[in-house]
Amino acid sequence: MAGAIVIVEPEAPRGSKLAHAPFSAGFKRQRPLASGEVLGRSVLGRVVENLESAGIDPIALVGNGSPSHDALDRKRAVASHALTQLWQEATRKLAGLREQKLDAILILTVGAYIEFGPAEMLEFYRELNGPVVRAHDKEGELNLWVFDPAKIPVDVGLMNYLQARKPVPYSVQSYVNRLQSPGDLRRLVVDSLSCRCNFKPSGVEVKPGVWMGQGSQVERSVRLVAPAFIGRGAKVAGQCLVTRASNIESNSQVDYGTVIEDSSVLSNTYVGIGLDLSHSIADGNHLLNLQRGIVLEISDPVILRRLETKGRVETGRRCLADVASREIAASSAEGIRR
Amino acid sequence: MLTSGPVIVIEVPEQLNEAEVSGFMQELGPLLECNRPRIVLDCSQVLSVDSAGVEMLLHCLEEALKRDGDLKLAALSPQADVILELMRVARVFEVFQTSEAAVRSFTTVPADALGQPAPWYATVFGELGALKQAG
């Protein structure tokens, strides 16, 4: 029997590309990349689904959603501390899982999107009979381990234990996206829409390469050039053009005559009339231009703004709430699809 | 006889938004009213532009063109560049890397205007003339 602990990284680890990217400060912390919606579902939701489909139970989630992200902006030192706190929380979760007599626990941090077979990794671990196993890909180590909970002394923190051991490498051959920068987020969308990975858009494929979510409204005069994705409840007004693997996430609106090219419009975002959105990610009133690597905060609501829907909860938080509800062992599959 | 004044370079404020537009127009407006206004807007300090700012830029361009002048943009900051592209107005203006280049563009004659090739019909008429002479 195996369980899992999933840690949702509050931000990129120190020293990562994102930590140094000029646009990170204004953009990423608005919404953690792993818990925001991408092609209709969060990375976190997909990871949990993957674990569940492999029969991993229970799955404990560590992350807070996170109301402290603004504070992270103000004090950089607080940020690394936040990750440490999450590991402490993971250690506490481990104490709860010990009682369930599990022979193995998978622990992963959802900063990256890793396509792996949990069952295969567990089989690899069981054949070795005991040592800590850590996943690697061709670029290096991944934050994905398997270990025996019975071997961890009660008074040792999980992070310390994993760092102290020399793990046996488990090679991940399939798709990995480290999601270290918003550019990686775009790459994930493009790879997914181009069928280069198993990250499938959540919706109906209305014509080859064009997916639409439930309740999305696209006017007749709109040109959707495949591949493209329109999320649930999104609206695209007349004479718009959506092209080059662009995605318009849930409950967003693109107004009349606008061109969305090689861009992502994240959830609950309004994009104004007659604009050219190219090589960009729009999130509320923030616009990240990937070609120039700059983030703009657009104060003019006619151009770009966050749509406040009734009873709206920030996507990241909603996602965490969904997953947390699954943590209760007998949770149904319905919850996460909501 | 039409004459034109010197090329005027004006620095655009950091925030070209609704609040700043009226103040900026007070400065720019009189310059647009002269004959053949030649204006360069230095956008190197611009951090944000909203729809009112873009509207103002287009209005100024229109006024300048009406009086047989021109308004050119120079040294666009990345922010201004992104916004103007987003709002599809970047292609409406002539944009230069530096203010000096923009000023020079007013005073130099385009190279292609100097050595214009003969119109295609000249040879035709030439041939016709030769035919007439022969006839």
DSSP annotation string for chain B: -------EEEEPPSEESHHHHHHHHHHHHHHHTSSS-EEEEE-TT--EE-HHHHHHHHHHHHHHHHTT-EEEEES--HHHHHHHHHTT-TTTSEEESSHHHHHHHHHSPPHHHHSPPPPHHHHHHHHHHHHHHH-
φ/ψ of B50, rounded to 5, equals: -110, -175
> Higher-confidence residue: B24 or A158?
B24
Contact A179, A188 (CB under 8 A): yes
Interface of B with A (CB under 8 A): 17, 48, 50-52, 78-79, 81-83, 85-88
Distance CA B6, CA A174 (A): 65
- Three-class SS of residue A129? coil
Residue A150 binned pLDDT confidence (cut-offs 50, 70, 90): confident
> Do A157 and A12 share a domain, yes or no?
yes
Residue A133, in any domain of the structure: yes
Same domain, A164 and A264: no
Is B106 or B134 the better-scoring residue by pLDDT? B106
Residues A91, A97, A103, A108: is their CA dihedral positive or negative?
A: negative
Please report which confidence band the pLDDT of residue A151 belongs to, taking 50, 70 and 90 as the band edges.
confident
Residue A264 to chain B, least CA–CA distance (Å): 14
Interface test with B, best of A270, A281, A298 (most B CBs within 10 A): A298
Nearest by CB to residue A292, choosing from B48, B52, B78, is: B78
What's the confidence (pLDDT) of residue B135? Answer: 55
> What's residue B119's pLDDT?
57
- Selection from A195, A191, A192, A227 nearest residue A212 by Cα: A227
Q: Test B78 with A294 for CB contact under 8 angstroms.
A: yes
Q: What's the pLDDT tens digit per position in A52-73?
A: 999 998 998 887 554 333 333 3
Q: Does A34 score more than 90 pLDDT?
A: no
Categorize the per-residue pLDDT at A32 as very low, low, confident or very high, splitting at 50, 70 and 90: low
Domain CATH for A281: 2.160.10
Pair (A211, A175) in one structural domain: no
Q: Give the number of domains in chain A.
A: 2
pLDDT at res. A331:
34
Q: What percentage of chain A has pLDDT greater than the value 70?
A: 79
Asked if the Cβ–Cβ distance from B87 to A276 is below 8 Å, we say yes
Same domain, A165 and A214: no
A134 and A255 belong to one structural domain? no
* Phi and psi angles of residue B8, each rounded to the nearest 5 degrees, phi first: -110, 130
Q: Which among A32-46, A84-98, A277-291, B105-119 has the top mean pLDDT?
A: A277-291
In A99-181, alpha helices (H):
118-128, 158-164
Does A192 fall in a domain?
no
> What is the domain range of residue A141?
2-181+315-337
Give the residue from B80, B88, B85, B6 showing the smallest Cα distance to B42.
B80
Domain architecture of chain B: domains with CATH? 8-134 (3.30.750.24)
Q: If we measure between CA atoms, which residue out of A105, A248, A254 comes closest to residue A189?
A: A248
Pair (A167, A38) in one structural domain: yes
**Does the residue A190 lie in any domain?**
no
pTM of the model: 0.81
Least-confidence region, from A117-126, A177-186, A261-270, A303-312: A303-312
Residue A6 sits in the same domain as residue A83: yes
d(CA A307, CA A154): 47
A175, A270: one domain: no
Kindly report, residue by residue over A264-292, the tens digit of the pLDDT.
999 999 999 999 999 999 999 999 999 99
* Residue A193 covered by a domain: no
**b/e burial code for range A93-126 (CB count within 10 A of at least 16 → b):** bbeebeeeebebbbbbbbbbbbbbebeebbebbe
Are A133 and A90 part of one and the same domain?
yes
Whether residue A188 is contained in a domain is answered as no
* Residue A61 shares a structural domain with residue A163: yes
CA distance A89 to A94: 9
Residues A298 and A320 placed together within one structural domain of the fold: no
Tell me, yes or no, whether A140 lies in a domain: yes
* CATH code of A81's domain: 3.90.550
CA angle, corner A57, sides to A52 and A60, nearest 5? 95
Q: Does residue A96 sit in the same domain as residue A26?
A: yes
